[in-house]
Amino acid sequence: MLGKGVVGGGGGTKVPKPSFVSYVRPEEIHTNEKEVTEKEVTLHLLPGEQLLCEASTVLKYVQEDSCQRGIYGKLVCTDFKIAFLGDDESALDNDETQFKNEVIGENDITLHCVDQIYGVFDEKKKPLFGQLKKYPEKLIIHCKDLRVFHFGLRYTKEEEVKRIVSGIIHHTQAPKLLKRLFLFSYAAAAQNNTATDPKNHTVMFDTLKDWCWELERTKGNVKYKAVSVNEGYKVGERLPAYFVVPTPLPEEDVRCFQGRGIPIWCWSCHNGCALLKMSALPKEQDDGLLQIQKSFLDGIYKTIHRPPYEIVKTEDLSSNFLSLQDIQTAYSKFKQLFLIDNSTEFWDTDIKWFSLLESSSWLDIIRRCLKKAIEITECLEAQNMNVLLLEENASDLCCLLSSLVQVMMDPHCRTRVGFQSLVQKEWIMGGHCFLDRCNHLRQSDKEEVPVFLLFLDCVWQLVHQHPPAFDFTETYLTVLSDSLYIPIFSTFFFNSPHQKDINMGRESQDAQSKPLNLLTVWDWSVQFESKAQMLLKNPLYVEKPKLDKGQRKGTHLKHQRQLSLPLTQSKSSPKRGFFREETDHLIKNLLGRRISKLINSSDELQDNFREFYESWHSKPTDYHGLLLPHIEGPEIKVWAQRYLRWIPEAQILGGGRVATMSKLLEMMEEVEHLQEKIDERHHSQGALPAEAPPLLRSSARLSSLFPFALLQRHSSKPVLPTSGWKALGDEDDLAKREDEFVDLGDV
């Protein structure tokens, strides 16, 4: 089966290697050398950005065929990015069909976005590290957003090759100090130009008022209270300055172990149940200290578990769920499927696409995360239990699952402002170590784990399955994932609020030093103009009707159901976790007796889960109520827009969801114009509705991977790989397999 086969692919036949070698330098082809130098494109620098090294007469290859074609230009490296400036920039610049980012150009790579660097020596590809004794004739850069760049250096001066290759290797791979990141250079230089977007209503959760507002919104203020005990980070550096705890909990208890062992509120359900999280107490060897910890936990437990009124179910994520190593290993295998060097490699791997995809286990990890979130949802919604998530630092899987549960249960979190506020609350203020997990400082590859990307992929599954329930599009999620590597926004470049505040000068004792003020990633106007931002908003979003529940129940359309495979039990690898060996027996004695009635057998849990899951999917979908994903085998799909957008062969010209979206936008525009005429007749003075982006008006000119696909590189017809003929069989066999041709949208 051709797992990745799509109509409109590029040439896949192995192209015979050309025997002709030109010994004429490219600049000699031009009749007038002066004209060539005058055509050089100007390098645009951001405030505080400095040029470090450059090389001329570099050939940027087209990622197609055997990389024999390309554009000559200059390759530069600054303290912010690697950029290619093409001599024939007009061939690359097509504003009408490109989703233009105002900060990062099509041929720009931020230093933080570089994943791996390879050199080609005598047609052999080798990874490049440290000091080189010999310099390559071709440079290949794999990016974390899965772009692949090929730069030919054969005609570049030897000294320039040494400078640019050494410079790129050093500035992308050498360990860095936090203060040396471009983030701070930009903040200092653009201090007077960092005005925030007035339309950005994201709740930042950096004030006590924000937390009180969230408590009131979720009706959690009856049982929980916002506290300021950690103002100035006097209690713990891992905690935010403000957070929410159970009302009966004394503030003195929060101070005992720097905030560890404290149930911290995440969200309250409509029935009064709450989702909580807790980090582990420090590991102790001394029996006396262990006894103190036991007594402390016993007291904490009594405040949150008071049957029959308050019942708590604990989820120990450190020992009974995924490990961070599982996630990193799976993604490392998964991303290799999309880092394609050329068409030949694409088609050679096409035949074994599904086996490679399955062996990576990435989709299975997504399924397990969604299933665990549904289990937690079932406890909150159906069993009226509080759920306490346990993790060593409560800053990785706790962030992921608490956020997923809220997306499923709270329609506010499915709006763009609500989703951004959720990320601020659970990830930024929750102390997720973005600096380490994204390896921005290049100090330890062991700490790099794409937990946040896993969360976005899980959310994409929900967006893909239930489009009308979300105010934002998959394009929004894709550019949000790209923003992880743009160091002009402070959002994803610190490990905790405390680390951010002390490095931005907000905790400085020097009265004369003015604190730096950085942009947040939520200021989308910095990256995209207004027309491009329209692609982040979902025109299919179903606004909440202003009707009572009784009227609303019968008006919702039933979601399309598909035949699916039966739910399979995924294996969970036992890991040493949260409660260390020394404290295991204490925790079991402390919690085991009290919650033994709550912990059902695995069979009972499975039965409850299946009943809850199947019952919900058997009813019409309320897009402003509880929302559950399908998690059966084929329902978990590859996020094609993010992972395949740079591969020309993976595009369907004039097809895919973009064609449907284009037609819908045309109809919406027609309706808006009719409404405008009606308003004019009634002498309305209201503002005119915004128009749909003109680049969406003709679906025939677009690609299924719009708005990222580079259409001018796309070939017109697919060619099957020659290496796979034996496996595929004869022509008659191929004809029989036509029905097995699979569209990427259904992977």
For residues 1 and 740, what is the distance between their CA atoms, to the nearest angstrom? Answer: 6
Q: What angle do CA 520, 526, 528 make, to 5 degrees?
A: 125
Q: Is residue 232 classed exposed, middle or buried when 0-12, 13-18 and 19+ CB atoms within 10 A define those classes?
A: exposed
Those residues with Cβ within 8 angstroms of residue 366's Cβ, 6 or more apart along the chain or in another chain: 454, 457, 458, 461, 636
pLDDT of residue 605: 61
What's the pLDDT at 35? 39
pLDDT in tens, 413-432: 999 999 999 999 999 999 99
Quick one: pLDDT at residue 567?
40
More confidently predicted of 691 and 323: 323
How far CA 24 is from CA of 17, 20, 27, 28, 30, in Å, comes to 19, 12, 8, 7, 11
pLDDT tens digits, one per residue of 257-271: 888 999 999 999 999
Percent of the chain with pLDDT over 70: 75
Is the Cβ–Cβ distance between 148 and 132 less than 8 Å? no
Q: What is the pTM of this model?
A: 0.83
Residue with the larger pLDDT of the pair 230 and 681: 230
CA angle 634, 640, 642 (to 5 degrees): 135
- Under the banding of pLDDT at 50, 70 and 90, the label for residue 375 is very high
Q: For residue 317, what pLDDT band results from cuts at 50, 70 and 90?
A: very high
Closest of 288, 279, 227 to residue 258, by C-alpha: 279
Average pLDDT over all residues of the chain: 81
How many Cβ atoms sit within 10 Å of the Cβ of residue 47?
15
Answer yes or no: is pLDDT of 718 > 70. no
For 643-676, the pLDDT digits (tens) are 999 998 888 887 777 777 777 778 888 888 898 8
Residues 6+ apart with CB under 8 A from 190: 46, 47, 48, 488
Per-residue confidence (pLDDT) for residue 588, from 0 to 100:
38
Look up tokens 């708005």; give the residue.
Answer: 707
Stretch 317-323: mean pLDDT: 92
pLDDT band at 1 (very low <50, low <70, confident <90, very high): very low
Res. 510: pLDDT tops 90: no
Q: Give the pLDDT band of residue 726 (cuts 50, 70, 90).
A: very low
Q: What is the pLDDT of residue 171?
A: 97
Distances 372 to 137, 234, 389, 599, 660 between C-alpha atoms, Å: 49, 35, 11, 15, 33
Given a cut of 80, whether residue 631 has pLDDT beyond it is: yes
The type of residue at 296 is: F
Residue 445: what pLDDT? 86
- Express each pLDDT in 529-579 by its tens digit: 998 999 999 988 988 876 554 444 443 333 332 222 334 333 333 333 333
Query: Residue 51: what pLDDT?
Result: 97
pLDDT per position as a tens digit, 578-601: 333 333 433 333 333 233 333 334
Q: How confident is the model at residue 699 (pLDDT cuts 50, 70, 90)?
A: low
Supply the pLDDT for residue 583: 36
Pairing of the two strands 312-316 and 386-391: parallel
Choose from 3-12, 468-477, 698-707 the range with maximum mean pLDDT. Answer: 468-477
Mean pLDDT over residues 46-52, rounded? Answer: 96
Match 């595009």 to its residue by tokens. Answer: 651
- Give me the pLDDT at residue 222, please: 93
**Mean pLDDT value of segment 177-200:** 81
Q: Which residues neighbour 587 within 8 Å (Cβ) at sequence distance 6 or greater?
A: 297, 579
Name the nearest CA neighbour of 176 among 505, 503, 440, 492. Answer: 440
Task: Name the residue with higher pLDDT: 243 or 561.
Answer: 243
Contact 721, 351 (CB under 8 A): yes
What mean pLDDT do residues 229-234 have?
A: 96
Residue 181 has pLDDT above 70, yes or no: yes
173 pLDDT above the threshold of 60:
yes
Amino acid 199: pLDDT: 67
Residue 635: φ, ψ to 5°: -80, -20
Give the span between the Cα atoms of 243 and 387, in whole angstroms: 18
29 against 460, higher pLDDT: 460
For residue 458, name the pLDDT band (cuts at 50, 70, 90).
very high
Q: Which helix (H) or strand (E) holds 157?
A: none
∠ CA 355-356-359, nearest 5°, is 85
Q: How far is CA 611 from CA 214, 403, 608, 656, in A?
A: 32, 24, 5, 35
- Of 189, 180, 155, 150, which Cα lies nearest the Cα of 56? 155
Banded pLDDT at 690 (limits 50, 70, 90)? very low
> What is the reported pLDDT for 543?
84
Given a cut of 90, is residue 497 above it in pLDDT?
yes
Which of 84-88, 133-137, 152-156, 310-314 has the lowest average pLDDT?
Answer: 84-88
- The three-state secondary structure class of 689 is coil
Q: What pLDDT, on a 0 to 100 scale, did the predictor assign at position 220? A: 96
The pLDDT of residue 473: 95
| 174 alpha-carbon distance from chain centroid | 25
pLDDT score of 717 more than 60: no
Among residues 150, 509, 189, the alpha carbon closest in space to that of 342 is found at 150
Position 177 pLDDT exceeds 90: yes
Q: Report pLDDT for 540.
A: 87
Closest residue by Cα to residue 266 from 255, 277, 258? 277
At residue 280, does pLDDT exceed 60? yes
**For residue 193, what pLDDT band results from cuts at 50, 70 and 90?**
low
pLDDT of residue 194: 55
